[in-house]
Homo-oligomer: A and B are copies of this chain.
Amino acid sequence: MTSLAMIEAAASRLKGHARRTPLLSSPFLDDIAGRRVLIKPECLQHTGSFKFRGGWSAVSALAPDVRQRGVIAFSSGNHAQGVALAARQHGVPAVIVMPADAPQMKIDNTRALGAEVVLYDRVGGESREAIGQELSHTRGLTLIKPYDEPQVIAGQGTTGLEIAAQAAELGVETADVLVCCGGGGLTSGIALALEGHAPGLRPRPCEPAGFDDATRSLASGKIQANPTQSGSICDAIVTQQPGDLTFPIMSRLCGPGLVVTDDEAMHAMALAFSRLKVVAEPGGAVALAAALFRKDQIQGDTVVALISGGNVDPEMFRAALATYA
């Protein structure tokens, strides 16, 4: 189980490796939101998302002889790149199991970060778990899960330590902290960090409409699944349901979830472009969208919103600008 001490230890290991992202703001966004908006742009993190923190934390926490044999992850997205770069920086092999129909650019990027990419036939029914188990067994690779893994949660939680310190520098003692939420690794890690270092800051998961498993799970008090996992432009944060490790933490510490539409996420992407000069992916923009377009559901003079990642296809980004910028 992830503890505050584990998050602080992860922060020590990440020092000089992960980027301490700044807090951004814009008077134009404050006007839209009707309150001060502070943005934590984890799109500026190595590999373009917060996932590098969890990957680095998990790889660095392994015993040296275990780590030396290498790590394995299942992912076609941000977790893959985070684990790949973290492994390369530790000088150990990384195997990333990706569906054969993943975008070529994502496959190329993951390979360019030094990982060995193993493709499986998702459509034909090949089991990535079976492939992974076979590789783990024969090569001694350690599986790095994307969110339901204590050291991954601890790594993501380092974002919360930074938010606590940066908010204190600005004299902000109470605020909702809006977090883009998939499986809940980032949300639960931040929640633990804020509980320890800034108890007046309340974490709240943000999700796209139709994929609001965390919001419904929090409301009902038990884990709820999404009816489907495909069909959202916010693919980076769509998972089946909150994790067995992350949900109890979120349930204990988070305020109610916030849900935004795909169009609102696209609008927030365009505003991040024009007002903050950062690139957000659709899933990475849902918390900013909630800060801007769900103001009646938010309390206080100040709100903090994460931008969790910026790995967006140029076509999608151009579409957001064409409609909303």
Contacts and interface: CB of A to CB of B under 8 A. Distances in A.
Interface string A1-34: 0000000000000000001111010011001000
Interface in A300-325: 310, 314, 317-318, 321-322, 325
Interface string A252-272: 000000000000000000100
A22 B24 contact: no
Chain A contact-residue range equals: 20 to 34
A174 to B, nearest CB: 21
Contacts of A27: 85, 112-113
A274 interface: yes
A191 interface: no
Contacts of A22: 19-22, 44
A48 interface: yes
Nearest to A277: B310
A41 B112 CA distance: 24
Nearest to A113: B27
A273 interface: yes
A43 interface: yes
A117 interface: no
11 contacts: A19-B22, A19-B24, A27-B85, A28-B109, A28-B112, A41-B277, A44-B276, A273-B279, A273-B314, A278-B278, A314-B325
Nearest to A19: B22
B321 A317 contact: yes
